[in-house]
Copies of this chain bind each other. A is one copy, B any other.
Amino acid sequence: MRIMIIVCVFLIPIFAVEMIIPIPDSIHYEKEKALLGKKLYLDARLSKDGKVACATCHNLATYGVDNKAISLGVNGIVDDPFNTPTSFNAVFNLSQFWDGRANSLKEQAKGPITNPKEMAFSEEEAIAVVQSDEAYMEEFEKLYKGEVSLETIADAIAEFEKTLLTPNSPFDRYLKGDQNAISESAKRGYESFKANGCISCHHGIGIGGNMYQKVGIFTPYNTPQLGRYDVTKKEEDKYFFKVPSLRNIDKTAPYFHDGSVINLETTIQLMALYQLGTILETDEINDLVAFLQSLTGEYKDALHQ
């Protein structure tokens, strides 16, 4: 009995459960497909006006977003009124899009190419672009037995997106034991993040991205978008959206599914009001901002040649 207690006491610090998990340095992916996918991700020829690539809205230089409230598709058309989610760390999401209508990165990648308000291509047009390019065709021969289709194009892009990870944020280093990796303010912010209940939705590797939640639990969030309901048509899914990842959140303004707020301070205040029915003091908001800023990781192009 005494031994058991001693063992348990020693185990507690080891197994103290943190609901946030550091991003791994890399995950498994097929390098050749990823290299092809990268080219496709950056290729604006895959759009009706030849100007919009995946990377236009999911810019690799700006944490997988374009920092616009609402992105512009071909010919400057305003996209559906959703803020562009980041492609970074998207592999960890339970599903893709705000309403989770795509079950995988591959399913997601098909969406914008053929969305008339985004890249506005047909599958045939996308195939023709690839087939007209000798270098592409060599790779499709080798990797997909020559099958060029929206399926194989999206498959390669999805493979590339598995490389879009941002490990090594100050907070992840803190989680791994480096007590000096984040400021005292960020530490207080993390405690506040847990104490106020933010963490009940924002947790896991993505600190979000692994569940749906209603926006406006305590105070209605005024939005015409119905979220998850559009996919399931279930009344109880109205105003449910995929909880967004907070990874690199300091770099991916503006915020909310409608991109309506540009700064973290106001966003935090509104989340407290809408989701938790509470109002935060300025000091606490500042600490939460410091915590969120510590979630900015490092993106290194694993495929750089």
Contact = CB atoms under 8 A, between A and B. Distances in A.
A285 B223 CA distance: 11
B259 A262 contact: yes
For the side of the interface on A, what is the size category? 20 to 34
A47 B223 CA distance: 42
Interface in A247-262: 254, 258-262
Given A219-B269, A220-B281, A282-B220, A258 B254 contact: no
A179 interface: no
Interface string A198-234: 0000000000000000000001101100000000000
Contacts of A282: 220, 222
A222 B261 CA distance: 14
A219 B263 contact: no
A265 interface: yes
Contacts of A220: 281-282
Copies in the complex: 2
A262 B69 contact: yes
Contact of A286 (B219, B222, B263): B222
Nearest to A285: B222
A270 B272 CA distance: 12
A286 B222 CA distance: 8
A235 to B, nearest CB: 17
- Of residues A222, A263, A273, which shows the largest number of chain B Cβ atoms within 10 Å of its Cβ? A222
A103 interface: no
B269 A222 contact: yes
A171 to B, nearest CB: 21
A75 interface: no
A279 interface: yes
Contacts of A222: 265-266, 269, 282, 285-286
12 contacts: A69-B262, A219-B269, A219-B279, A220-B281, A220-B282, A222-B285, A222-B286, A260-B263, A260-B265, A261-B261, A269-B270, A273-B273
Report, nearest first, the 6 A-B pairs whose CB atoms are least far apart: A222-B265, A220-B282, A260-B263, A260-B266, A260-B262, A222-B282
